[in-house]
Amino acid sequence: MKKSLLYGALAFSPIAAFAQSSSVTLYGIVDTGIVFESGGPKGWGVNMSSGVQDVSRWGIKGEEALGGGYSVIFKLEDGILVNNGQTDTANAAFSRVSYVGISSPYGTVTAGLDFTPIYLVLSPLTPFGNAFGGSPGQLMAGEKGGTRAPNQIIYHSPDFYGFKANVAYGFGNVAGSIGDSQQFGFSLSYKIGPATFEWGHQQVNNSTSTDTSRNDLITGRYDFGFATAHVGFGISRGMGTTNSRDFLIGFSKRVAAVHEFYLAYQHKNDLNQHQFNATGIIADYGYFISKRTNLYVAAFWLSNHRFTTTKFGTGDRELDIGIRHLF
């Protein structure tokens, strides 16, 4: 009888939590390439860069099942520079992602450093993500929404008849003010058959709440079978008078599960003095030598580098050749 009472008490004590299943996974990406560039102030050049297709990184993620479909989750991720062995952000242990949260049948809530909802719309705009010298984020700079936000609480909904949503709030963490440097964003996606549509919005207050940037990105992808079409339209209302309309159309094709082709046209319309109008032509190719490793070749031509340059160069032309491995 005494043993039964003891076992019953333990079942409702904090010790019982250790009986739940848990797991921790180490993962990462190692990516490095040779970058040929031209059109910059010093002419042509060649260099080795890390993270040309995907940012090289390592991380740990874990989950503890609480029962009833609920779990505690966490993720810690840092970027690395494969070409020299350094971290890609000085004085930061986990500069890419660091959060803890709860997963449930009704969605997931996390708190910490994580990607903004609008970036979660930008990244799948191409089959290679926001990658290579001609990454969509080069001309759609505002629509990246800062890529990620610190001090952020974000809710990821479950799939509901093809609909999914993300809603995020980022604390400004400014003493004596709630509004200074705060962020707010959301995204909504809908998938029906071969078509996927997404809309992302992000707004950020400056450090004194005297100005706010507002960016919207609408994307669509349609798999025709013989090829997939990718379309994106962005409205960027930046701080001050930095305003633009940005457009991308591209086509991708996967062949025999080992070849991935992507060709795209991108244009930025500067709504102020048009000095930052720019057009980009993108051509990417990946060859998968295994499920976790691929070789790549990518080229980008930019018409006007007064607004920006290629991603890894200082001019308006870039050619990338490299290898990526996932572990």
Assign 149 to helix, strand or coil. Answer: strand
* CATH of span 30-326: 2.40.160.10
137-to-67, 90, 269 alpha-carbon distances in Å: 40, 23, 15
The H or E element containing residue 80 is strand 70-81
Structure tokens at 215: 């960016």
Phi, psi of 139 (to 5 degrees): -90, -30
| Residue range 271-301, pLDDT digits in tens | 987 888 999 999 999 999 999 999 999 999 9
Alpha helices by DSSP H, the chain: 2-11, 119-122, 136-139
Alpha-carbon span 92 to 303, nearest angstrom:
36
Instruction: Give the torsion through C-alpha atoms of 191, 193, 195, 198, to 10 deg.
Output: 0
Distance from the first to the final alpha carbon of the chain:
52
The DSSP code for 142 is: G
Q: How many CB atoms lie within 10 A of CB 117?
A: 28
Percent of the chain with pLDDT over 70: 94
**Residue ranges per domain, the chain?**
30-326
Residue 189's nearest CA partner among 122, 135, 143 is 122
Q: Which of 8-17, 53-62, 156-165 has the lowest mean pLDDT?
A: 8-17
**Residues paired with residue 201 on neighbouring β-strands, in sequence order:** 186, 216
Q: Which two tokens stand for residue 179?
A: 């509004």
| CA distances to 82, 108, 152, 198, 240 from 123, in Å | 22, 20, 19, 11, 26
Of 244, 285, 239, which is closest to residue 264 (Cα–Cα)? 285
Verdict on whether the full-model pTM lies above 0.85: yes
Ranges assigned E (strand) in 171-316 = 183-192, 195-205, 212-223, 228-237, 243-255, 259-270, 278-288, 293-302
Q: 173-227: per-residue pLDDT in tens? A: 999 999 999 999 999 999 999 999 999 999 999 999 999 999 999 999 999 999 9
Give the pLDDT of residue 317.
97
